Amino acid sequence: MNSIVEIDDERVEKFVTCTLACHSKVKTLLIIGSAAHGELTKYSDIDGVMLTEVSEKDVISELEEDFNELAAKRFGKSSGNEFYSPHWSLFIYPEKAFTDKSIFSEYCPLPLEFTLYNLKHNSKLVFGQDARKDISVKYNEGLIDEWLSFAPKYHLTQSEIMINNGENLRKSTYALSRAILQTARGVAWKEDKNTSSSYESIVQSMKKLEHHSTNLAEWALEKRRKDFESTIRETKSKLKPAENFLDNTLKRYVQIKRRRCPYSSQKKR
């Protein structure tokens, strides 16, 4: 019988409540990202992945819209493609998506194998059956390359645009922190075989490796802990080091050509 797993964060509990209020045929509900690691900041988004008995694509789209509407009306949460703000996103897949990669790929614009690996190892079950055991992706060093080729660069560019246009400083600092820590994730993945998406764990790997950009990663983590409080001068001073860190990481570890970033044109996943 399906049941809610014990949840120790009120924000995640509300997210689960909203999801279950919308959908009666939930097989599995996972949370991913910072929420899965207990590392939510004041401004973090909460992302969930749901498996459902429904298989029709148009019906699944309607279910996502139902969630978005209830999240806004009852909980005051926006949804969709809004980085750097405390929004909610729910991504719904047919129940066979974890065992049939062709089905999964119809719904997910991000690198297929890497995304499935993250769902298996960097998610938290909050309701239903644990379908993660059905995911058959294993670690390999190159699994992260496609994601690493576009994700940190996207956030770095957004930070530069916001800070140079005099836009929201907190959001700019958030974007920069994310760019740095995602770059650090690539180093941790390659050098320490640390596949966790926990930023705390990633920075620990940087320290262990005595990487030359450890101080930069520690700064980015500290900004998260302080809900991205900063000054224009401080954030601007980290842009060039972050760019160098990313460029050096890509040159050293990533052989594939940088792909077009899916964040700018599709719902954030």
What band does 25 get if pLDDT is binned at 50, 70 and 90?
confident
The span from the first CA to the last CA of the chain, in angstroms, equals 29
Give the model's pLDDT for residue 146: 95
Q: Are the CB atoms for 199 and 193 separated by under 8 Å?
A: no
Q: Are 53 and 22 in contact (CB under 8 A)?
A: no
Distances in whole angstroms, Cα of residue 247 to Cα of each of 101, 168, 173, 199, 210: 32, 26, 19, 20, 19
Q: Are strands 123-128 and 88-94 parallel, antiparallel or unpaired?
A: unpaired
What is d(CA 156, CA 267) in angstroms, rounded to the nearest whole number? 19
For 96-155, the pLDDT digits (tens) are 999 999 999 999 999 999 999 999 999 999 999 999 999 999 999 999 999 999 999 999
User: Which CATH superfamily includes the segment(s) 10-134?
Assistant: Beta Polymerase, domain 2 (3.30.460.10)
Helix (H/G/I), strand (E/B), else coil: 16: helix
pLDDT in tens, 66-90: 999 999 999 999 876 678 988 999 9
| pLDDT value of residue 2 | 58
Task: Say what the pTM is.
Answer: 0.93
Cα–Cα dist 100/206, whole Å:
35
Cα–Cα dist 32/47, whole Å: 6
